[in-house]
């Protein structure tokens, strides 16, 4: 009877502890979803820059500039594109890391899923 009374008295602590563990895990997994949305947004921005580079290359060709590397605007667009590519790669690696972490916590026995 004493053991039951002790468990009953500390039931709130047990429930709170379980909630903290569950919400922490859910928050970490949700961060992976947020990273995915960020990656999609950056890919849209990348598409915009690719289109702008194409337009600028056509304009540079019409103007008769033979060395596209001398065009400041074009070099600026390429620089922005490179920065976006690095962000996509970094976010992708972070998302993959989060996904592996979530899967390992959801499936601690190591069963194939």
Quick one: pLDDT at residue 113? 45
pLDDT (tens, 9 = 90+) of the chain, 113 residues, equals 567 777 777 777 778 777 777 777 777 777 878 888 999 999 999 999 999 999 999 998 888 877 778 888 999 999 999 999 999 999 999 888 887 877 776 665 555 44
CB atoms closer than 10 angstroms to residue 84: 19
Quick one: pLDDT at residue 30? 78
Q: Indicate the DSSP class of residue 10.
A: T
Q: In sequence order, what DSSP letters do the residues of 51-113 get, joined into one string?
A: HHHHHHHHHHHHHT-S-GGG-HHHHHHHHHHHHHHHHHHHHHHHHHHHHHHHHHHH-TT----
pTM: 0.65
Quick one: pLDDT at residue 85? 95
Q: How far apart are alpha carbons 98 and 26 in whole angstroms?
A: 11
């Amino acid at each position: 009877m004493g053991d039951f009374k002790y468990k009953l008295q500390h039931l709130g602590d047990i429930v709170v502890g379980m909630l903290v563990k569950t919400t922490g895990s859910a928050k970490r997994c949700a961060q992976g979803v947020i990273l995915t949305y960020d990656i999609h947004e950056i890919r849209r921005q990348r598409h915009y820059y690719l289109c702008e580079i194409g337009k600028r290359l056509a304009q540079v060709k019409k103007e008769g500039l033979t060395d596209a590397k001398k065009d400041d605007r074009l070099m600026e667009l390429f620089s922005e594109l490179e920065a976006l590519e690095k962000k996509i790669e970094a976010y992708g690696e972070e998302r993959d890391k989060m996904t592996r972490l979530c899967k390992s916590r959801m499936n601690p026995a190591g069963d194939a899923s």
